[in-house]
């Protein structure tokens, strides 16, 4: 009966999703994970303990040999992604498979940002030359939606956009017309809300934003509370702060806009404050904190400040012990490792990346579908964003 209630609620959510709800999907899925766990076990979640039911965190201490090769898996996901579009070329998301049957996926056009990154990484690996043309077609379909007056799409930034598009738009192997579109998609991104107003007020008063107190967080010292920091709402608080930090620092790097650099620091400060106080709590434990490490990697790449790499090193140590509780959180963690390996060539990132992906493949990859699903017992939700990240990484592994 519980499973049926879960599926009924999930179907209702997916069928009524709107643009601002897309980014809440993982929040709902994570809450379901936690509910299943609580109902089936009263012990603490720990990678070393066995339990009857509930999600098993994917730890880099638990590598196992993948059932299929990295390249075969990448190809399978790329082919699966092609099936997740409607006749207009607009992406759908949230394909669900389980014994009871599931509703159709919902329209999620902004998933294209992730797909474009995936196709680009597959092309750059040298193993999937067809993906550059696929990228151009997907980009044309996606960009055309902004030309439809009544279509429900905006430039509101609620997902990593600039940080995904930047490497594509700055690569001369990509057609110049495509690069121009990608640049405009980033330049038009909108950052709104109290966190931006507060940042702008501080910039107007002092001209700068305080440097993130990363060293204190590395030492497990909670940062002073700012009453305007949202420490409760994961989606519009912690997650939004981290997403904004990632894209704002990319805009600074891309367009040499110092104001965006200051805004990025302010948003990273907010996310860092929440993390310093809540990193051992259920909110970040079950809904994921890897998006912060991804923002740290973008700040490191843009500034070359070693404090961000030091934070990432400490983060990897914690993630090794705790593992991932959702496939989406794991994908952001792997994306951070991928970026840091590209930026530094340090083998610690490569090792953590391959060990984590091997473990995830045994826990969440469905070879019959050719894609990864969320780690929810009895329910298989396939997220195009998550699979895009994973396929782009897998295409570059040997």
pLDDT, position 27: 42
Residue 14 pLDDT level (bands cut at 50, 70, 90)? very low
Q: What is the 3-state secondary structure (H, E, C) of 297-348?
A: HHHHHHHCCHHHHHHHHHHHHHHHHHCECCHHHHHHHHHHHHHHHHHHCCHH
Mean residue pLDDT of the chain comes to 86
pLDDT at 292 over 90: yes
pLDDT at 18 over 70: no
Average pLDDT of span 96-108: 77
pLDDT, position 381: 92
Burial class (CB in 10 A: 0-12, 13-18, 19+), 130: exposed
Residue 93 DSSP class = E
Residue 284 pLDDT level (bands cut at 50, 70, 90)? very high
The whole-angstrom separation of Cα 47 and Cα 321 is: 8
Average pLDDT of span 107-118: 97
Structure tokens at 163: 């940080």
Residues forming a β-bridge with 107? 92
> Which of helix, strand or coil describes residue 132?
helix
pLDDT, position 199: 97
Average pLDDT of span 40-64: 36
Average pLDDT of span 174-196: 97
Average pLDDT of span 269-294: 96
Residue pair 250/166 in contact (Cβ under 8 Å)? The answer is yes
- pTM across the whole model: 0.85
Quick: pLDDT tens for 300-336. 999 999 999 999 999 999 999 999 999 999 999 999 9
> Which of helix, strand or coil describes residue 63?
coil
pLDDT, position 26: 44
Burial class (CB in 10 A: 0-12, 13-18, 19+), 43: exposed
Quick: pLDDT tens for 42-51. 222 223 222 2
- What number of other Cβ atoms are within 10 A of residue 73's Cβ? 24
Torsion sign across C-alpha atoms 51, 54, 59, 65: positive
pLDDT at 127 over 50: yes
* 124: Cβ contacts below 8 Å, ≥ 6 apart: 171, 173, 396
How far are the Cα atoms of 135, 147, 211, 224, 285 from residue 275, in angstroms, in the given order? 36, 39, 16, 12, 11
């Amino acid at each position: 009966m519980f499973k049926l209630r879960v599926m009924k609620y999930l179907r209702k959510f997916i069928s009524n999703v709107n643009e601002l709800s897309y980014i809440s999907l993982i929040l709902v899925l994570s809450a379901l994970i936690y509910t299943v766990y609580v109902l089936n076990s009263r012990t603490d979640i720990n990678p070393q303990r066995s339990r009857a039911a509930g999600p098993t965190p994917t730890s880099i201490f638990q590598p196992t040999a993948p059932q299929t090769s990295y390249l075969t898996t990448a190809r399978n996901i790329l082919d699966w992604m092609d099936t997740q579009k409607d006749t207009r070329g607009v992406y759908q998301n949230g394909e669900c498979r389980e014994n009871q049957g599931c509703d159709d996926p919902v329209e999620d056009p902004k998933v294209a940002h992730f797909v474009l990154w995936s196709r680009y990484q597959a092309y750059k690996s040298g193993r999937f030359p067809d993906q550059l043309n696929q990228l151009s077609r997907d980009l044309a379909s996606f960009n055309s939606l902004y030309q439809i007056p009544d279509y429900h799409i905006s430039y509101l930034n609620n997902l990593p956009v600039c940080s995904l598009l930047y490497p594509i738009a700055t690569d001369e192997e990509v057609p110049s017309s495509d690069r121009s579109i990608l640049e405009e998609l980033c330049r038009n991104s909108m950052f709104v809300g109290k966190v931006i107003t507060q940042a702008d007020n501080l910039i107007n008063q002092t001209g700068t934003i305080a440097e993130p107190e990363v060293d204190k967080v590395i030492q497990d010292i909670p940062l002073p509370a700012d009453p305007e920091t949202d420490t409760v709402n994961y989606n519009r608080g912690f997650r939004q702060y981290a997403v904004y930090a990632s894209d704002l620092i990319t805009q600074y790097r891309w367009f040499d806009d110092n104001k965006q650099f200051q805004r990025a620091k302010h948003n990273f400060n907010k996310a860092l404050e929440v993390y310093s106080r809540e990193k051992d709590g259920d909110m970040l434990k079950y809904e994921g904190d890897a998006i912060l490490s991804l923002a740290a990697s973008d700040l490191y790449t843009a500034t070359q400040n070693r404090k961000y790499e030091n934070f990432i090193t400490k983060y990897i140590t914690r993630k090794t012990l705790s593992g991932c509780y959702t496939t989406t959180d794991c994908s952001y963690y792997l994306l951070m490792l991928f970026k840091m390996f590209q930026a530094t060539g340090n083998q610690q990132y490569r090792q953590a990346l391959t060990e984590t992906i091997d473990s995830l493949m045994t826990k969440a990859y469905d070879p019959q579908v050719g894609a990864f699903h969320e780690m929810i017992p009895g329910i298989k939700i396939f997220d195009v964003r998550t699979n895009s990240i994973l396929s782009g990484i897998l295409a570059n592994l040997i």
